[in-house]
Amino acid sequence: MFARSTTIQAQPSAIDAGIAHMRDIVLPALRELPGCFGLSLLVDRDNGHCIATSAWESEDAMHDSAERIGPIRDRALEIFGGSAQIEEWEIAGLHRAHHANEGACVRATWVKTDPSRLDSAVEIYKAGTLPAIEDLEGFCSASLMINRRSGRAVSCTSFDSAAAMAANREQSASLRVDAARRTGVAALDVREFELALAHLRVPEMA
């Protein structure tokens, strides 16, 4: 499984219009593309930072969609009133305790390591970090995406509510420190988002 993420620096005043456009126009269009497994959208209303992620059954399906995706993306950026950065990922793991409901939030953590150490880091994440994440208050799901060329990876953990995510913030930070020590990865960024759209149909991969 593979994913394409589009990081949008949107105008905060345009976020509601952008969410509606992604839900009503972009998501139905993506569902018509061969090999597409849906769409998620993370938003930070305070600074306009948004991340749209589409999932694909294969790398070929993701790349074959590029020409048709271009105009769809361009129109979405017009609605959001912002610019975009596009990244491609391999989905290395996904585990759901249950599907996210309205009000769910996501904590995303970006890290980097030597590409040769990615497989080891993924195994440590699945064997040690993920079981600990499952014990966090309000846990819904967790995913791990990697880029084998750059050595970058991003883990996203969803929670039932902003309150639950805030309550486990300190515990989550301790888990990140321990995971970095065990895997040898360097943390790049940590951000928290509202889960505005949760329509990824990626099967269990943990």
List, run by run, the mean pLDDT of 10-residue segments along the chain (206 residues). Answer: 96 96 96 95 95 97 94 95 93 91 95 94 92 94 96 97 96 90 89 95 76
Query: So what's the pLDDT on residue 206?
Result: 61
Record the pTM. 0.94
Query: So what's the pLDDT on residue 179?
Result: 87
Q: 3-state DSSP call for residue 105?
A: strand
What 57-61 contacts at long range (C-beta under 8 Å, 24+ apart), as own/partner pairs, is 57/1, 57/2, 58/1, 58/2, 59/2, 59/90, 60/35, 61/2, 61/33, 61/34, 61/35, 61/36
d(CA 43, CA 101) in angstroms, rounded, equals: 15
pLDDT in tens, 141-150: 999 999 999 9
Query: So what's the pLDDT on residue 4?
Result: 97
Average pLDDT over the chain reads 94
d(CA 43, CA 41) in angstroms, rounded, equals: 7
